[in-house]
Amino acid sequence: MHGLHLIDELYDCRCDPQLLADAAALRGLCLATCSADGLTPVGLVFHQFGNALEPAGATGAVVLAESHLAVHTWPETKSVSLDLYVCNFSQDNSSAARDACRRLISAFAPARVLRRELVRGLPELAGPIDPTGESD
């Protein structure tokens, strides 16, 4: 489970509006980015919101041999959310993940970005389950 989880929120994106509104364009970008950075797509699903006359954004997920990429667009606010998780079990994929996120961010050309990195798979930090369901 050890890996790196990258979460990015992109605001005021200045890319071609089609990239925010068209699931096919979004799918092409995601697949090209993952492949270029050494990640291995093994499945995918993309959904177009709205209709052919008035697209209203897209959402998509690429299942990777290394874990997953999820992307959601809001053309009406020129916003995008990215979620890329890679496991580092047999090799360290952190560099590939960071490169892929940089490529995606560059493609969307946001004016503002909120980035978060989470290292996952640290069992020594995990606490016992509280049977009452209460949290500290």
State yes or no: pLDDT of 106 exceeds 90: yes
To the question of pTM greater than 0.75 for the whole model, the response is: yes
Q: Give the CA distances from residue 130 to residues 47, 123, 126, 134, in Å, rounded to whole numbers and listed in that order.
A: 38, 16, 12, 6
Instruction: Reply yes or no on whether 87 is catalytic.
Output: yes
State the CB neighbour count (10 A cutoff) for residue 37. Answer: 19
Residue 50's pLDDT band, with cuts at 50, 70 and 90, is confident
Q: What is the pLDDT of residue 135?
A: 59
Among residues 67, 68, 79, 101, which one is catalytic?
67
Mean pLDDT of 11-19: 96
- CATH dotted code for 3-122: 3.60.90.10
Contact criterion met (CB below 8 Å) for 88 and 4: yes
Residues in the chain: 136
Q: What is the pLDDT of residue 136?
A: 56
State yes or no: pLDDT of 58 exceeds 80: yes
Instruction: Reply yes or no on whether 90 is catalytic.
Output: no
For the ranges 2-11, 44-53, 87-96, 127-136, the lowest mean pLDDT is seen at 127-136
Strands in the chain per DSSP E: 3-11, 41-50, 55-64, 67-74, 79-87, 112-120
Average pLDDT, the chain: 92
Bridging pattern class, strands 3-11 and 79-87? antiparallel
For the ranges 25-29, 112-116, 127-131, the lowest mean pLDDT is seen at 127-131
- Which residues are CB-contacts of 33 (< 8 A; sequence separation ≥ 6)? 100, 103, 104, 107
State yes or no: pLDDT of 55 exceeds 70: no
What are the domain boundaries of the chain? Answer: 3-122
Among residues 30, 34, 87, 101, which one is catalytic?
87
Residue 52's pLDDT band, with cuts at 50, 70 and 90, is low
In degrees, to the nearest 5, what angle opens at C-alpha 25 toward C-alphas 21 and 26? Answer: 75
